[in-house]
Every structure is written in C-alpha cells, then in structure tokens.
Amino acid sequence: MKLQINNDIEYIQVMPESSLTDFVESYWMLHNRSGVEKNVVGLPDGRIDLFFARTTTEPFSVMLIGIGTKPDHGAIPAGALMFAISFRLPAAEYILQMSLAQFVDKAINLPHDYWGFNADILADFEMFCKKASEKIQSLLPGEMDERKRRLFELVYASKGEMGVKELSEKVFWSSRQINRYFNQQFGISLKVYCNILRFRASLEHIAQGKLFPELNFADQNHFIKEIKKFSGAIPKDLFKNKDDRFILLSAIRQQ
C-alpha cells in the first residue's frame, strides 16, 4: 500500500507473509522528500518498531523503539528516509530475544551492522522487505508457548476489548502470571496494553468522523479522557489533524 500523506511525506506499507504474522504486523517506509523538517506526533499503537534510517546528518542508524503509552512530539528531518519493521509483542521474546521492560516510551540505538544489514539496505524498499523476511524466518522459534500464542491471538483479534479476567480464563493462565510476564517482558500490564489497542482501533472510527465511542468505553467522557491520554488531543482535534501532524491517523484515513 502506497500513500502520499501530503505533498512532502511518502508512506508505503507492506504486509508480511502468513508464516510471520504471529510476530510481524507490517514493513513500512517513510520518506520526507521536502527540504524542511516535518513536525509530527507519534501515537501509541501497540507495536515494537525496528528502524533503519538515513538523514542528511546521519548516513545510517538502527534503532528499536519499545511500546509507546503517550504521545511523542518530534520531527522527521528534511530528506529523512526510514525503513521499519513493526513487530507484534511476541517478537520481543521469540525474535529479538530481549526484554523491553526498560524501553517503554524509549528507544535504544543498535549496532549499525545489526542483523548484518548496512546502509545499502536503504537503496530498495522491496529488497529490504525480502531480506528482513528471510532474517526473521531464520529466527522463528521451533515452538511457542501455547498459552502465549493463544493469549496474543485473542488480544489482537478483540482489538483490546476483551478483559483480563476473560482472557485469563480462555488461555488457562492466571491473571497474576500474565501480568508478571507483561511487566517483566514489556514494562506494562496487560490491561494497559489492551487499552492501547482499543485506542488504536478507535482511531479508525475517528478518521471516519465518528467522534463518539464505538467500542466498550463506559461513556462519552471516558472515551474522550482515554483518547486524550494517549494522543494529547480530543477526538474532534484528532479528526481535523491539522497539518497532518498525526502521521498514524493520516495513514489510517487513506487506507
């Protein structure tokens, strides 16, 4: 999927092959083709992002960003080119083989030769997707804890609307153990993560101009409060998306 966020920002998204969908949500590219930096607000989306990037001041960098729980005000430098892999949470343990508990709302710089990639990988997005897929395929686990596999399947399918108690009962794993796992591995509770996914799902409705809760919020006030907590803006201002500063919302709107 190729989108033009505005006259300056190009965004391309590619879905992974079916054998990787437990761990990879998408591959994507973002290119600021303008000569000026673009102010943006990053929104929590429940993903773990691995970036390979180039700017006019830094020829090549590799960065891993943990789960976001609040709006992130930043800027895309002029001329910046970013290729990224958006992972689902199981990838932290099974593909990246690391805990991200210390990196909530934070990023970690990785070696420039991470996965054997270098600056040349940014020459061709299609080739990047191919090589990233091959690398991830080589890292796939022989087996995955069935409780975790089923838990994440339900969490993603319900878009965060299923409660912790119900999830616990369906996967035969106690709420206490689940939350211990989430806090140790990701730095947040399962409930907080579900709220993030519900927020993200709500963005799809807001992009369509539906400014009242479509999901299981208690009422309109609760809906507004949750949306503002994760985005820093009320639904009406998100919908307006002045200057396309909410890149995620701009992409959703054009899908």
DSSP conformation letters of the chain: -EEESSSSEEEEEEPPPGGGTTTEEEEEEEEE-SSS-EEEEE---S-EEEEEEE-SS-S-EEEEE----S-EEEEE-TT-EEEEEEE-THHHHHTS-S--GGGTT-EEEE-TTGGG--GGGGG-HHHHHHHHHHHHHHH--S---HHHHHHHHHHHHTTT-S-HHHHHHHHT--HHHHHHHHHHHTSS-HHHHHHHHHHHHHHHHHHTT--S--SS-SSHHHHHHHHHHHHSS-HHHHHH-GGG--HHHHHHHH-
Over residues 154-205, the pLDDT tens digits come to 999 999 999 999 999 999 999 999 999 999 999 999 999 999 999 999 998 8
Q: What is the 3-state secondary structure (H, E, C) of 62-85?
A: EEEECCCCCCEEEEECCCCEEEEE
Q: Mean of the per-residue pLDDT values for the chain?
A: 92
Backbone angles phi, psi at 21, to 5 degrees: -70, -15
Task: Tell me the pLDDT band of 9, cut-offs 50, 70 and 90.
Answer: confident
Selection from 99, 102, 103, 63 nearest residue 80 by Cα: 63
Longest CA span, the chain: 54
At 243 the pLDDT is 74
Task: Tell me the pLDDT band of 32, cut-offs 50, 70 and 90.
Answer: very high
**What's the average model confidence in pLDDT over 41-67?**
95
Question: Letter for the amino acid at 111?
Answer: P
∠ CA 31-32-38, nearest 5°, is: 135
Task: Tell me the pLDDT band of 7, cut-offs 50, 70 and 90.
Answer: low
Q: Tokens representing 11?
A: 């965004």
- Give CA–CA dist 21/142, Å, rounded: 15
Say whether pLDDT at 252 is over 90.
no
At 73 the pLDDT is 92
Task: Tell me the pLDDT band of 2, cut-offs 50, 70 and 90.
Answer: low
Task: Tell me the pLDDT band of 123, cut-offs 50, 70 and 90.
Answer: very high
- Give CA–CA dist 78/36, Å, rounded: 5
Task: Tell me the pLDDT band of 67, cut-offs 50, 70 and 90.
Answer: very high
**Is 69 within 8 Å of 137 (Cβ atoms)?**
no
At 8 the pLDDT is 82
**All structural domains of the chain:** 2-139 (2.60.40), 146-254 (1.10.10.60)
Flag the least confident range among 10-24, 87-101, 221-235, 240-254.
240-254
**What's the average model confidence in pLDDT over 128-138?**
98
Say whether pLDDT at 85 is over 60.
yes
| % of the chain residues with pLDDT over 70 | 96
pLDDT higher at 155 or 253: 155
At 171 the pLDDT is 97
Say whether pLDDT at 149 is over 70.
yes
Flag the least confident range among 52-56, 167-171, 214-218.
214-218
**Is 157 within 8 Å of 170 (Cβ atoms)?**
no
At 71 the pLDDT is 94
